[in-house]
A = this chain, B = another copy of it.
Amino acid sequence: MLKAAAEMIDPLNRYPGYLLRRASLAAMVALATRLAPLDLRPGEATVLTVIEANPNSTQSDIGRLLEIARANMAPLVSRLASRELIERQPVDRRSHGLVLTRSGRSLVARVKAAFAAHEQTLLENIPASHRNAFISGLQALAEKTSNGN
């Protein structure tokens, strides 16, 4: 006999940590859906916006900022470069500063529009009177993430 979730006791329903994970998962799915038409995953789109804001950063710099391991930045950056969305400009003989190409600049504009629409949808789901406190709480928790990468 099929038992609906509503008939069961969810012992975790009031746990902020559990809600946090569920909310985050839902948001990531929504964002991935929004980015799919651009053929970008959330991590790739994020890196593009960071390159725009910090031209000539190295992929190690970007990895530290976003807490993406160097080993995982390599293939991500390679994908963006092979799509000619970014270019590597030599900084010294072992590292390269990353910059957007023309088509990268045009794509990042669409990324930013998608991000803005996504964030607005998120906020609209939160009662206006709670929004500031909600964001403050998230910032407090997110800062705890800082590992000494």
Interface centre among A25, A46, A141 (most CB of B within 10 A): A141
As a 0/1 sequence over residues 116 to 144 of chain A, the CB contacts with chain B under 8 angstroms (1 = contact) are 00110011011101110111111111101
A1-28 contacts to B (CB < 8 Å): 1-5, 8-12, 14-28
Chain A residues bordering chain B, tally (CB within 8 A): 65
Complex contact A141–B127 (CB within 8 A): no
Known: A17-B27, A25-B145. A65 touches B5 (CB 8 A): yes
Complex contact A54–B8 (CB within 8 A): yes
Complex contact A122–B17 (CB within 8 A): yes
Tell me which of B10, B67, B115, B137 contacts A50 (CB under 8 A).
Answer: B10
Interface centre among A131, A136, A142 (most CB of B within 10 A): A142
Complex contact A144–B28 (CB within 8 A): no
SS class, residues of chain A in contact with chain B: helix
Q: A84 an interface residue at 8 Å Cβ cutoff?
A: no
Q: A53 an interface residue at 8 Å Cβ cutoff?
A: yes
Tell me, in angstroms, the Cα distance from A22 to B149 when the chains sit together.
Answer: 14
Complex contact A20–B138 (CB within 8 A): yes
18 residue pairs bridging A and B, Cβ less than 8 Å apart: A2-B60, A3-B57, A8-B54, A8-B57, A8-B61, A10-B50, A14-B135, A17-B115, A17-B119, A20-B20, A21-B27, A23-B141, A26-B141, A126-B136, A127-B136, A130-B136, A133-B134, A134-B138
